[in-house]
A and B are shown apart, each in its own frame.
Chain A
Amino acid sequence: QKEVEQDPGPLSVPEGAIVSLNCTYSNSAFQYFMWYRQYSRKGPELLMYTYSSGNKEDGRFTAQVDKSSKYISLFIRDSQPSDSATYLCAMNSDTGFQKLVFGTGTRLLVSP
């Protein structure tokens, strides 16, 4: 079993839709949770960074962490064609020092 599970998609939605992306994990030591966006043949770009449980909002993006269920989510409101990319969840037990453990990534396609 992988430490982090993520549905690879693709997830296809029309422009303006609310998108929900999710990851589950098995290691209860994880404390820091990140979402990265990766365009084709580019490096991952940090979108959201959350410590422990709770919600964090930044513009059209909301990250949720439920440590009791070992489940994290990223919501994208008013999705745009420019949001079409692969979204990677990542987590570790200590920021900076420890390795990041990634999910497989979910490919999102937003059609005009």
Chain B
Amino acid sequence: DAGVTQSPTHLIKTRGQQVTLRCSPKSGHDTVSWYQQALGQGPQFIFQYYEEEERQRGNFPDRFSGHQFPNYSSELNVNALLLGDSALYLCASSFDRGGETQYFGPGTRLLVL
């Protein structure tokens, strides 16, 4: 049973560029959440997707947007990159019916120069 997968594993961008990160949820899961983890900090919630719609959003600017596809996979897009966007971006999947918590992928490490 494949767990949560994310691509790419590492990415280097320059300020002002745009980036797209991808996530495939654990088999049987239909909900995808995205988190940002700065160095030495706990993950911070960005947003959650269910049934191809953004269901809940954390305290992140509109530069952060996402999408969920019919196969439940998801993308995170960040526009106009800032140095402060450098972080580990984590995708977590869960099953909306409840009874389970969120399982995380290995993350994408983004460095903005």
Chain A contact residues, CB within 8 Å of chain B: 4, 6, 8, 32, 34, 36, 41-46, 49, 88, 90, 94-105
Q: Does B72 contact A (CB under 8 A)?
A: no
A46 x B101 contact (CB < 8 A): yes
Classify chain B's interface size.
20 to 34
| Contact in complex: A8, B40 (CB < 8 Å) | yes
Across the interface, A44 reaches (CB within 8 A) one of B6, B41, B56, B90, namely B90
> Which residues on A sit within 8 Å (CB–CB) of B4?
43
> B residues bordering A, Cβ < 8 Å?
4, 6, 31, 33, 35, 40-45, 48, 50, 55-56, 58, 88, 90, 92, 94-107, 109
Q: Report the separation of the CA atoms of residues A75 and B40 in the bound assembly, to the nearest whole angstrom.
A: 22
Which listed residue, B40, B58, B100, B104, touches A99 by the CB 8 Å rule? B58
Q: Output the least CB separation between B5 and chain A (Å).
A: 10
| Cross-interface CB contact of B45 among A36, A42, A100, A103, cutoff 8 Å | A100
28 A–B contact pairs at CB < 8 A? A6-B42, A32-B101, A34-B101, A36-B104, A43-B4, A43-B90, A43-B104, A49-B101, A88-B43, A94-B98, A95-B94, A95-B98, A95-B101, A96-B97, A96-B100, A97-B31, A97-B48, A97-B55, A97-B56, A97-B98, A99-B45, A99-B58, A100-B45, A100-B101, A102-B44, A104-B42, A105-B41, A105-B42
CB distance from A10 to the nearest CB of B (A): 11
Tell which of A8, A96, A105 touches B98, judged by Cβ atoms closer than 8 Å: A96
- Chain A residues contacting B106 (CB-CB under 8 Å) are 42-43
